[in-house]
Amino acid sequence: MREKSKKTLRSIYNKFPQFYKECCLIELTLDVPTQKRWTKMRKKMLSEENDFTELTKLRESIKTNGLLHPISVLVEGETLKIYKGIEQVWIARTEGYTHISAYVINKKDMDIINPPETNWYTKNNHLGKQACEDHRKKVFEWLEKRGKSRALENLEEASAAIEKESLSNG
């Protein structure tokens, strides 16, 4: 019997080599509550048409440029749960990949990979839920006007540009 060859979707950038691993896609899980929250969040943020467009852009970006950053996988006992990168995993599976670049982390390491001070929503949570939602809308509008994806770098670029603009206006 012939063994299936390994096809890995590798990331271009790797900021945390101590957590880097190439994970088998069939070993990755997504618990039902997380999947429901993710689906509900996407439906709130995007119309079905825009959601399809965003996933199509991400698929084309991955086909053209590869995976920019590893996904994040949370270790819970013997289980590997997708923490960040659900869309990338879905695309990798549909494109025939068997493995994907990932940061494999424990809960205690989460803040190393995703420091709270770099997340606008965490940083400004004291402003209240509505202020965070208003900012999220501004970020998505800013990205849409410029034809940019919602990749982490673009979210950070948009947030910085909006903060800079509000400081100069205020």
Mind listing the pLDDT tens digit for each residue in 62-83? 988 889 889 989 898 889 998 8
- Distance, in Å, from the CA atom of 136 to the CA atom of 120, rounded to the nearest integer, reads 9
CB count within 10 Å of CB 25 equals: 17
**Kind plus residue range of the DSSP H or E element containing 82:** strand 79-84
CB count within 10 Å of CB 79 equals: 12
| Tokens 């618990």, residue located | 31
Comparing CA positions, the residue from 95, 28, 27, 42 lying closest to residue 66 is: 95
Mean of the per-residue pLDDT values of the chain: 78
- Distance, in Å, from the CA atom of 12 to the CA atom of 68, rounded to the nearest integer, reads 5
Spans of all domains in the chain: 1-114, 115-170
pLDDT at 84: 84
Q: Which tops the pLDDT comparison, 154 or 103? A: 103
Mind listing the pLDDT tens digit for each residue in 109-151? 877 877 655 555 555 555 556 666 677 777 778 777 877 766 6
- Please tell me the chain's helix, strand, coil percentages from 3-state DSSP, rounded to the nearest 5: 60, 20, 25
Tokens of 73: 């996988």
pLDDT at 27: 93
pLDDT at 1: 46
Q: Which tops the pLDDT comparison, 97 or 166? A: 97
Enter the CATH code of domain 1-114. Answer: 3.90.1530.10
